[in-house]
Structure 1
Amino acid sequence: MSNPLLAARGLVKAHGPTPALRGASIEVAAGEVVAVTGPSGSGKSTLLHCLAGILRPDIGTVEYDGQRLDLLPEKRLSELRRTEFGVVFQFGQLIPELTAADNVALPLLLAGTPRPAARERAGEWLERFGVRDREGRRPGEMSGGEAQRVALARAMATGPRVVFADEPTGALDSLAGEQVMTALVRTARESGTAVLLVTHDDQVAAYADREVALRDGAVPGDGSPSTVSAALLAGEAAR
């Protein structure tokens, strides 16, 4: 890939004494949907969090649009997550006291959008994800699939260049999961948004343009350090 929008190279990350990433590398092009798969404990979520700037790697680099994401100050990272990144977690993480419309409008308000315009755009995104009729309901008054589609609308409302989705269907039944993935991929393609999707489900991974399999914190065959040498690096980084 000549000019990836997002690229991680040789990532090593340890959680205390436990290595999570052992030299993982990945590239994502603009507008591409990439699924990161692998068994539980393989480092999928840690990789996503490093790419989204939520975690900093102990060793290795993360580049976004030509800039070193892993070296940016926290203020700039927070700005990117508000304006150019969208993040969706397994359980949506909607604010329970807010209605669906207010949840979607919140990142727009934080970015400085006037309240009337934020509310109007929130309604438009809820409509695109098929949950406009739930705009006045709070998360506890919606099904899991409806709440997750509201979370997707919130992630897309600011017009992000990249959406990071961490097991977005993991808490849903198969029908709701299919609806969520169909809505996410369709909307991302319409918007030209790149999607980095973490999943252990082959059916969910099938929605992606490309699958990257993570094993023991590395991507086999991508030139990552060996498990032994990367584990030593992780141990050094954790000290």
Structure 2
Amino acid sequence: MTNTHGDPSDGTAQPPLLAARRLSKAHGRTPALRGASVELGAGEILAVTGASGSGKSTLLHCLAGIVRPDMGTVEYAGERLDTLPERRLSELRRTEFGVVFQFGQLIPELTVLDNVALPLLLAGTSRAVAHERAGEWLERFGVLGQQVLRPGELSGGQAQRVSLARALVTGPKVVFADEPTGALDSLAGEQVMTALTHTARESGTAVLLITHDTQVAAYADREVRLTDGTVAAAGTASAAPAARKGTS
């Protein structure tokens, strides 16, 4: 398999962490993906861009194992996601994948602390340890003071940073971010993207970023553009200031 995710220090090529090959997916009679292929390297931040209806979110759902493609393959760390049983997919989403949606999708009945601790609790971590780790991530994203609040008491930017903490609390290998700034104003969006990219680069977490915003895509290492369910273009994302890219 040819790829470009090598280590320049020793000249060796590494296989992609996550790869989709010739994916096709339809919603009813409406095609969403038409043979799309994409690769994500370990520790890479990849922006998938395109107009509304281009298939961006469907691609993310296939890559995260949330939906199965009608045709094509999805491989993660050597495993075929598209053929895995649901139990194994659920395990991966609890332990190695983190997901951030446009509107956060926090559970309104739970406190901020319990929302972030939930993935750990579902994985069998004790409540005391889960709360301790959740508090560490809330502090990291600057929202520790809101831990006893409910999601409805947060601003949009605060809620999305809580969502980031929840996505990263398990130490995932990949974070899937679907329009994470789409419901935020420009300042809150910049704060969220800075927090996400800085943390991802610091921890070596790969990020698949779905966005229609060129300013958001500029935080990525590389950009893939979808048009009508196919990959229309790929390349290095436009340069962004170091502070925005979150480099350490």
Query: TM-score, length-normalised on structure 2?
Result: 0.88
1:56 & 1:168 partners in 2: Cα distance?
Answer: 23
Q: Which runs of 5+ in 1 are unaligned?
A: 223-239
Root-mean-square deviation (CA, aligned residues, Å) is 0.8
Contact 2:225 2:233 in 1 (8 A): no
Q: Could you say what secondary structure the match of 2:231 adopts?
A: coil
Whole-angstrom distance in 2 between the partners of 1:122 and 1:221? 39
- Note if 1:108 corresponds to 2:120: yes
Question: Share of identical aligned residues, percent?
Answer: 79
User: Which of the residues 58, 67, 83 maps onto 2:70?
Assistant: 58
Residue in structure 2 matching 1:215, options 227, 232, 247: 227
Aligned equivalents of 2:115, 2:39: Cα separation in 1: 31
Q: Structure 1 residue 156 and structure 2 residue 156: aligned?
A: no
Matched, 1:90 2:105: no
Matched, 1:177 2:199: no
Task: From 124, 134, 140, give the equivalent of 2:146.
Answer: 134
Instruction: Give aligned pairs, total.
Output: 222
**One-letter amino acid of the structure 1 residue matched with residue 30 of structure 2:** T
Q: What's the TM-score, normalizing by structure 1? A: 0.92
In the TM superposition, structure 1's runs of 4+ consecutive aligned residues that sit over 4 Å from their partners are none
In structure 1, how many angstroms separate the alpha carbons of the residues matched to 2:117 and 2:168? 11
Long gaps (5+) in structure 2: 4-13, 235-248
Answering whether residue 55 of structure 2 is matched by residue 43 of structure 1, we say yes
Aligned-pair distance for 1:120?
A: 0.3
Larger strand fraction of residues: 2
| Greater helix fraction, Structure 1 or Structure 2 | 1
Q: Per chain length, whose mean CA-contact separation is higher, i.e. which structure has more relative contact order (CA < 8 Å, sep 6+)?
A: 1
Task: Kindly provide the amino acid, as one letter, of the partner of residue 19 in structure 2.
Answer: A
Alpha-carbon distance, 1:190 to partner: 1.1
Task: Provide the C-alpha distance between the structure 1 equivalents of 2:228 and 2:198, rounded to a whole number of angstroms.
Answer: 32
2:232 is paired with a residue whose SS is: coil
| Structure 1 residue corresponding to 2:82, chosen from 40, 45, 70 | 70
